[in-house]
Structure 1
């Protein structure tokens, strides 16, 4: 019996550690998805939870005299808070407009409860094992070994098993149910005789209520997610899908231009569609443009503008999310908006992360034009496609005299990030021309050519001759006067000196 009891306690340590790490990873993943700032979210969750674990360890001293019932109630509470943590965070984002305070509060509570587990488990294993009482050092080693192995299993199960199969909300709820069962079974089976009748009834009732709440929440998770999406995106959510790369949401009526959101941020504004992509594409197409490379741009709107030129022989689109490309092909409203660009035989789609593709694609024919239509720069992975190394690889893919156009995010609230992109391009050996166009959502754009500026100065913001009129979906071709005026206004906001962003030292902070 002592050996079996010891094994059961260590098994509970294993399960609790796995559940605790899943809660932690879930908070980081969901907060990063909602805000797009993975470094800040991970730092907040990890630092707050580690601090709270220390607080929980101290608070657990008062429960050691009633370790069994205390541990059972502790696990039930942890299962409830951890299981509902994703719902709480998503709800705060949808109805309160932000996740910062909810993230800190939930991380603090979960960390405190996790920190209280180990002192109570140490007490319980000493009760069932004489060896544990005599060899405290060996017992601590066993507890930490089970804890670390459980954390390994939970950490690997989350991205490769739980998240793809269950999604973020249901993963947290299912983990909470496992957590409650592990704590309840350990206490009632191993220490049930030591509990009073009232204590046993209390544990059974609390665990039953927690499991019932988690089951009801799991049954209503889809309805909750739809309601939260409508609170964020409005009533006309037509398509909502979470891909392995990002969350893609398409809104609007079927008879009007759609809005496209990627990870909660507006990617395509249906009412302002005639400005952003034409302004990105047309200045770069002035000159030779037989071979065009589009980095990102899975929505097909940049490709739509490129295909308005008769001299285009091939267009290569490198998009990390094949689901977004499939949506751009098959959704009637989005396909109509991009002019059914993916139906053109000249267009080739490569499903790959742009940085990795640029790094491994060697020896091919260089491109006359490269268009970078990627999500705005951010911390963590969001800084990679705006780094010095990325632009160095892009320069290698450009033909002599080729042109690079970069969509560098919204203005004016992110102007420092925008000018950091421009400084990074210059550090990579490009001559740049910053510019923007007026519209409902101002976007920062940069036109760049390889090499130092010659006597003619930076590249001219002019539209190439021979552009076709296109259909009703085609964007309005910006005039040279409008582009120059946008460049002059933007130039007035240029800071004096900014260092470039690199992979080792990203400069796009929160």
Structure 2
């Protein structure tokens, strides 16, 4: 280290090092969670993608530890360099990935995701060997003492990772969004390194190296600060390239990115809702989808209806117009979707979610059903259940397309009640569609598959299910008025499938074997 280096004496500096370890470990995990979240948002995620990202990150940790070996003799300055690089790469990674996806598409963004994951993992992996060397400075340690030092280091590292894992979903993501949260985390990373440099590391370094290290950290902090100021503008620019129409509302909830766009074409307003970049409806033709979802399932004159999902309020809107429907219980996971529906989408859903006949429950549908409906299930069960959930693009959604989920629904439906499930496109995602049909049937329901044409989506499919042994009849109630699309003849034709979308007998999707995840992924690739 040179004769000008004055190594600190005593034990006061080691707790500071361990605290910095915890802070940096928290930052490292947050970077990776940000990339995982963004990958799910812009690319659909999935078990395979998630597994590869996590495995790649863990492998990069080991590579980083090996690459740090030549630098352990100058651990202090090397650690500062690692943290500066980690703060910069981690802080800009989410923004870079988002820009790449919106500008260049999925494949280039996968390259950026792989490179960012590898770089972050390698830099995080280099921390432990450097800090281990630093903590052993000035000690003549035996094996027992080295073991204690490593135990303290690992404990600080893992506890920091736990802190990062808690901060990301409960604080950073919902309050800041992915890109801003990653930039803020980068600043925290640099700040932790700066504090450590000022209190401890400068005692292990020559004056010139200390000054250079401080300037490098200052430069990185300046770059991240600039990004933090500009990130909203960058995001708006990138988002405008992703969505064809102007964005009029945007929010990042704890579960998903929610975007509403609006444009006027030939005097008609086209308002669109997107969840995690996937279109949910267009106000120009959503009535075709909504009528096809709602009308067949209410053919048996239900008084009380359960809606699982459907947070946009469109299904509730049409249900309230059905004669005889007295109460609608709506179970929606994301309160941010409900907020958007009650404000930006109120013109489309006609204020259905504020109607006194609609009981809105903010909860996970699977969990709510497992609890038996928390006393909301009427005596004898619901006369109709509408399952209007997003496509199973990730593991959390796939369990809502499982055999176990449809068996839980069976418990809350009356003997003559019906269930309808939006099931994806028989043309674009054929395996997903027919897997859903098979899965519903495997849970003890009799099924009638049907499909309709929605211009925005193309060919779209549903499954009508009943508890009797005979297949439920697809029919309209004679007292329903004001339908814009459905007619008896349309429904009669809806059960016919052409040769290119013909039925397939597939194994059911279960909690243990979520086969529908791969079906959904293949459909999106197609």
TM-score higher than 0.5: yes
* 1:231 Cα deviation after fit: 1.5
- Structure 1 residues 379, 168: CA separation in 2 closer, same or farther (over 3 Å shift)? closer
Q: CA–CA distance in 2 between the matches of 1:132 and 1:238?
A: 65
Q: CA–CA distance in 2 between the matches of 1:417 and 1:205?
A: 55
Secondary structure of the residue aligned to 1:461 is coil
Aligned to 1:111: 121
Q: Please identify, of 156-165 and 490-499, the stretch whose mean Cα deviation from structure 2 is larger.
A: 490-499
Q: Please identify, of 150-159 and 426-435, the stretch whose mean Cα deviation from structure 2 is larger.
A: 150-159
Q: From 14, 17, 25, give the equivalent of 1:6.
A: 14
Q: CA–CA distance in 2 between the matches of 1:243 and 1:102?
A: 24
Aligned to 2:169: 159
- Structure 1 position 346 matched with structure 2 position 357: yes
Alpha carbons 1:2, 1:129 under 8 Å: kept? no
Alpha carbons 2:426, 2:434 under 8 Å: kept? no
- Structure 1 position 178 matched with structure 2 position 182: no
Q: Please identify, of 4-13 and 18-27, the stretch whose mean Cα deviation from structure 2 is larger.
A: 4-13
Q: CA–CA distance in 2 between the matches of 1:341 and 1:193?
A: 66
Q: CA–CA distance in 1 between the matches of 2:143 and 2:197?
A: 19
- Structure 1 position 356 matched with structure 2 position 367: yes
Q: From 199, 209, 216, give the equivalent of 2:219.
A: 209
Q: Please identify, of 351-360 and 195-204, the stretch whose mean Cα deviation from structure 2 is larger.
A: 195-204
Q: CA–CA distance in 2 between the matches of 1:491 and 1:359?
A: 39
- Structure 1 position 303 matched with structure 2 position 311: no
- Structure 1 position 190 matched with structure 2 position 190: no
Q: From 473, 485, 489, give the equivalent of 2:493.
A: 485
* 1:216 Cα deviation after fit: 0.9
Alpha-carbon displacement from aligned partner over 1:121-166 (angstroms, at most 9, x marks no partner): 1121222444589832222222112212222222222223333333
Aligned to 2:41: 33
Alpha carbons 2:308, 2:331 under 8 Å: kept? yes
What pairs with 1:85-484 in structure 2 (closer than 5 Å)? Answer: 85-98=93-106, 99-131=109-141, 135-253=145-263, 256-331=269-344, 334-360=345-371, 361=373, 364-365=378-379, 366-440=381-455, 441=457, 442-453=459-470, 458-469=471-482, 476-484=484-492
Secondary structure of the residue aligned to 2:350 is coil
- Structure 1 residues 44, 488: CA separation in 2 closer, same or farther (over 3 Å shift)? same
Alpha carbons 1:405, 1:447 under 8 Å: kept? yes
- Structure 1 residues 257, 149: CA separation in 2 closer, same or farther (over 3 Å shift)? same
CA RMSD of aligned residues (A): 2.3
Alpha carbons 1:278, 1:478 under 8 Å: kept? yes
Alpha carbons 1:257, 1:337 under 8 Å: kept? no
Q: CA–CA distance in 2 between the matches of 1:132 and 1:166?
A: 47
How many residue pairs get aligned? The number is 499
TM-score scaled by length of structure 2: 0.89
Alpha carbons 2:83, 2:189 under 8 Å: kept? yes
* 1:495 Cα deviation after fit: 5.3
Aligned to 2:53: 45
- Structure 1 residues 450, 348: CA separation in 2 closer, same or farther (over 3 Å shift)? same
* 1:258 Cα deviation after fit: 0.7
- Structure 1 position 502 matched with structure 2 position 516: no
Secondary structure of the residue aligned to 1:3 is coil
Query: Gaps (5+ residues) in structure 1?
Result: 470-474
* 1:106 Cα deviation after fit: 0.7
Secondary structure of the residue aligned to 2:270 is coil
Aligned to 1:472: none
Secondary structure of the residue aligned to 1:271 is coil
Q: Please identify, of 334-343 and 398-407, the stretch whose mean Cα deviation from structure 2 is larger.
A: 334-343
Q: CA–CA distance in 2 between the matches of 1:375 and 1:306?
A: 20
Q: CA–CA distance in 2 between the matches of 1:303 and 1:275?
A: 15
Alpha-carbon displacement from aligned partner over 1:378-434 (angstroms, at most 9, x marks no partner): 331111221111111211111122111111123422111111111111011111111
- Structure 1 residues 72, 345: CA separation in 2 closer, same or farther (over 3 Å shift)? closer
Q: CA–CA distance in 2 between the matches of 1:12 and 1:129?
A: 20
* 1:496 Cα deviation after fit: 4.4
TM-score scaled by length of structure 1: 0.91
Q: CA–CA distance in 1 between the matches of 2:433 and 2:368?
A: 24
* 1:490 Cα deviation after fit: 5.4
- Structure 1 residues 89, 133: CA separation in 2 closer, same or farther (over 3 Å shift)? same
* 1:476 Cα deviation after fit: 2.1
Aligned to 1:15: 23
